[in-house]
Amino acid sequence: MIVNEAAETPVDNLLLTNAAHADVLAGGCACCDGREAFVALLRTICGMRDAQGAGAFDQIVLETSGLADPGAIATAISGDQMLARRLIVEDVIVLVDACHGAAQLSDEALCRAQIEAADRIIITKSDEPSARDTDRLIQTLKLLNPSANIEGAEKGVPVKLPAHDDATPYPLSGSGIETVPIKPHRLDISGGGGWASFSVWLSAVLTARGNDIVRVKGVVGSPDGRLLLQSVRNVVQPPEILPEPDDTGNGFLAPAEGVIVLIGRHIDEPTLERSWQKFVMGTGS
Amino acid sequence: MCSACGFPALAGHWSDAGVSSPGDKMRIRFTRLAIVNRLLKPYRLAAHDDGATPGFQLLAPDGARVMVKNLEELWKEAGRIAGTAVDPLSARALGDE
């Protein structure tokens, strides 16, 4: 476990005495000022794992500073020659304070960037505001990131959230902030020659639209097997080869091969489909 | 590092995943080149892959050639030469202008 704090004096590590192993990175956020120290620490940890028998682990939990942009952290990892080969960003978990979440979402671009990058959103202190306010917050979060799982928790214990889908989301205005919510878009690439063709098209799309397309997920066929694709903004994780469906045992749920989900704004499915047909399939207009 | 082209051995761009046999690699280079050229055409650019040197050569309308080591660099460089990003979803690329 790595605890990162932007301030010089660490506090959070004192609360985490039960972690198997905790490192503290204080005095710089891992996504910006503290990036070098963060990358150096990850390298050390990967090195320790290689040392014989010492501290075997298969997961690192990074507790970021509240000011961190998950996209920038993914960039830092994939931009490092050693870490890019060793680590995969598996889950981006973002905590939302039920009392202050709505105000933060309306004023702070960073807060929106964190929500958009999340795989799981955990709402804390959900019993403090009225159930109706919490409902509205949940609907706002769903609007911003329709693909994330939204859960409630209190001091690490899961709690049930109110569930009224008819609540009105908070208005998302805010000056200078992108107000168009992100949406998931599906693209069927099953007839298109697999990874070799898809990655050419996708690399062009992400280079041009990396700020608008916040996530891309899917399973794509390749000569070596099925690849699991995941991106955070314009950073694509080194794709992993998935085990074949019949030898995975059970419990492994991968998305269907050949359907890609692009989550972002200013894109639409008909345009994606036309672009795919024209450039990859070489047909259509 | 390749002493002919100056590029170091690449750490592997994400787009290069999923192919390990030399035959597949060669086949894929040409599949990709066709798609790259379809994408570059609306911007009056073209790419060339000689099959031996790593990366691509990007050909500008004035005859200039730029070597790029992977797809990401190719799109960035192409955008720089064209003066606008090569965007497969744009009206220009899709021929709507």
Q: Report the residue from A204, A227, A236 with minimal CB separation from B88.
A: A204
More confident residue, A226 or B2: A226
Question: How close does chain A come to B89, measured CA to CA in Å?
Answer: 6
Q: What is the pLDDT of residues B79-97, one digit of tens each?
A: 999 999 999 999 999 988 7
In chain B, domain spans: 22-82
Identify residue A258 by its one-letter amino acid code. G
**Residue in chain A nearest B33 by alpha carbon:** A200
Other beta carbons less than 10 A from residue A124's beta carbon: 18
Burial of A158 (0-12, 13-18, 19+ CB in 10 A): exposed
Model pLDDT, residue A241:
80
Identify residue A205 by its one-letter amino acid code. V
- pTM score, two decimals? 0.70
Q: Report the residue from A78, A199, A274 with minimal CB separation from B15.
A: A199
Check residue B9 and report its DSSP letter. P
Question: How close does chain A come to B60, measured CA to CA in Å?
Answer: 18
Residue A251 has pLDDT above 50, yes or no: no
- Across chain B, mean pLDDT equals 85
Q: Give every CB contact of residue B32 below 8 A, 6+ residues apart in sequence.
A: A196, A197, A199, A200, B49, B71
Check residue B49 and report its DSSP letter. -
Model pLDDT, residue B84:
94
* CATH number at A183-281: 3.30.1220.10
CB distance A204–B32 less than 8 Å? no
Model pLDDT, residue A249:
45
- Across chain A, mean pLDDT equals 81
CB distance A237–B85 less than 8 Å? no
Phi-psi sector, A53: left (phi>0), alpha (psi -120 to 50), beta: left
Q: Report the residue from B21, B32, B95 with minimal CB separation from A223.
A: B21
CB distance A224–B34 less than 8 Å? no
CB distance A278–B31 less than 8 Å? no
Q: What is the pLDDT of residues A116-170, one digit of tens each?
A: 889 999 998 888 888 888 999 999 898 888 888 999 998 888 988 887 778 888 8
Q: Give every CB contact of residue B3 below 8 A, 6+ residues apart in sequence.
A: none
Question: How close does chain B come to A222, measured CA to CA in Å?
Answer: 5
CB distance B14–A237 less than 8 Å? yes
The answer to whether B21 faces chain A, any CB pair under 8 Å, is: yes
Q: Report the residue from A238, A267, A274 with minimal CB separation from B17.
A: A238
User: Average pLDDT of A66-85?
Assistant: 84
Same fold, A2-159 and A183-281: no
CB distance B18–A201 less than 8 Å? no
User: Average pLDDT of B2-23?
Assistant: 69
Model pLDDT, residue B4:
62
For residues B33 and A31, give the distance between their C-alpha atoms in angstroms, rounded to a whole number: 35
Kind of pairing between the strands at A213-222 and A259-264: antiparallel
Identify residue A197 by its one-letter amino acid code. S
Could you tell me how many residues make up chain B? 97
**CB contact at 8 A, A155 and A125:** no
User: Average pLDDT of A202-224?
Assistant: 87
Other beta carbons less than 10 A from residue A184's beta carbon: 14
Which residues in chain B have their CB less than 8 angstroms from residue A88's CB? none
Which residues in chain A have their CB less than 8 angstroms from residue B15's CB? 199-200, 202-203, 236
Domain A2-159 of CATH type 3.40.50.300: yes
ipTM for the whole complex: 0.88
In chain A, domain spans: 2-159, 183-281
Q: SS3 for chain A, per residue?
A: CEEEECCCCCCHHHHCCCCCCCEEEECCCCCCCCHHHHHHHHHHHHHHHHCCCCCCCCCCCEECCCCCCHHHHHHHHHCCHHHHHHCCCCCCEEEEECCCHHHHHHHCHHHHHHHHHCCEEEEECCCCCCHHHHHHHHHHHHHHCCCCEEEEEECCEEECCCCCCCCCCCCCCCCCCCCCCCEEEEEECCCCCHHHHHHHHHHHHHHHHCCCEEEEEEEEEECCEEEEEEEECCEECCCEECCCHHHCCCCCCCCCECEEEEEECCCCHHHHHHHHHHHHHCCCC
Question: How close does chain A come to B15, measured CA to CA in Å?
Answer: 5
How far from B90 is each of A64, A208, A215, B58, B94, CA to CA, in Å? Answer: 36, 10, 19, 21, 6
Residue A14 has pLDDT above 70, yes or no: no
Kind of pairing between the strands at B56-59 and B65-68: antiparallel
For residues A199 and A194, give the distance between their C-alpha atoms in angstroms, rounded to a whole number: 9
Which residues in chain B have their CB less than 8 angstroms from residue A194's CB? 18
**Residue in chain A nearest B23 by alpha carbon:** A223
For residues A93 and A24, give the distance between their C-alpha atoms in angstroms, rounded to a whole number: 19
How far from A103 is each of A100, A106, A111, A137, CA to CA, in Å? Answer: 6, 5, 10, 10
Model pLDDT, residue B70:
87
Question: How close does chain A come to B68, measured CA to CA in Å?
Answer: 14
**Residue in chain B nearest A222 by alpha carbon:** B18
Other beta carbons less than 10 A from residue A26's beta carbon: 18
Model pLDDT, residue A19:
60
Q: How confident is the model at residue B10 (pLDDT cuts 50, 70, 90)?
A: very low
